Amino acid sequence: MLAVGRELLIGRTLNTNARWMGKRLALRGSQLAEITTVDDDLGEIASALRGCLERRPDYLVIVGGLGPTPDDMTLKGVSRGIGKGLRLSESALAMIREHYVKRNLGGMEMTPARKKMAVMPVGASAVKNPLGTAPGVRLELRGTTVFCLPGVPSEMKSIFRESVEPEIRRRLGKLDREYVSMRLEGIYESALAPVIRNELRKHPSAYIKSHPRGIKEGKSRIELDVAVVSEVRGKARKSVDQIVREIREAIEPEGATVIALREGQP
């Protein structure tokens, strides 16, 4: 994910889009490999784009900077980064006009600022924005599918659900995923570390992450996330059950206890 916006860098706005997207992808068996945030600057956007593409991700989602104001320069930065020109997309322009008509604003003049939201890199296609004015953008670059989405959270989520996620799910295929959160008491993270290391050695495809929660009533508390994704139905559940059992067997003789076990979503 490439997030564009000075408001994210100066603390004016919290990047809730990244948290939402990361969690949603994880629930479906994928994950964000990296989140990069850059200023509203053509050079920064172009440079960050090239850096992301060098790592050859399956998908790159760029969020923010698609609006009508001068600081909305994401698509121009993308154009510079890939060395392609910009063009007015008639399909994007039609989407913008349709948006105004649906809101009883059909008489709105298509000013340069409004047309700006339909100017896209050559080779890009417009993606419908169900809630807002600026269309999303899709293009293929060096084997990576790139989506550019508005930064307004409601618009970003809407386009992601309707256009981005279905494509990712088709590419991933049907995946089986299991997740549990274990609440441990009476063990320090340093003592838990070799247990985690041993489980990861036996289950290399598992995700096991500890989160210290401080000391309460003299006892250290830790939350431990365990997740497994598999292409084989039932295998993920079997692996998670085995990991939980083995962790219990390793820590309980040392005086630690599992005080809660929660299954479902992280």
Assess contact for 228 and 240: CB atoms under 8 A: yes
Assess contact for 157 and 169: CB atoms under 8 A: no
Q: How far apart are CA 254 and CA 263, in angstroms?
A: 25
Instruction: Tell me the pLDDT tens digit for each residue of 11-24.
Output: 999 999 999 999 88
- CATH homologous superfamily of 176-263 equals ACT domain (3.30.70.260)
Is the pLDDT assigned to residue 189 strictly greater than 90? yes
Domain with CATH 3.40.980.10 in the chain: 2-172
Give 169's pLDDT tier (boundaries 50, 70, 90): confident
Q: How far apart are CA 10 and CA 159, in angstroms?
A: 26
Instruction: Tell me the pLDDT tens digit for each residue of 121-143.
Output: 999 999 999 999 999 999 999 89
Instruction: Tell me the pLDDT tens digit for each residue of 74-118.
Output: 999 999 999 999 999 999 999 999 999 988 887 788 999 999 999
Give 65's pLDDT tier (boundaries 50, 70, 90): very high
Domain with CATH 3.30.70.260 in the chain: 176-263
Q: What is the DSSP string of 136-169?
A: EEEEEETTEEEEEE-SSHHHHHHHIIIIIHHHHH
Confidence at residue 266, expressed as pLDDT on a 0 to 100 scale: 54
Across 162-166, 170-174, 203-207, 219-223, least confident range: 170-174
Give 161's pLDDT tier (boundaries 50, 70, 90): very high
Fold of 2-172: Molybdenum Cofactor Biosythetic Enzyme; Chain A (3.40.980)
Assess contact for 143 and 53: CB atoms under 8 A: no
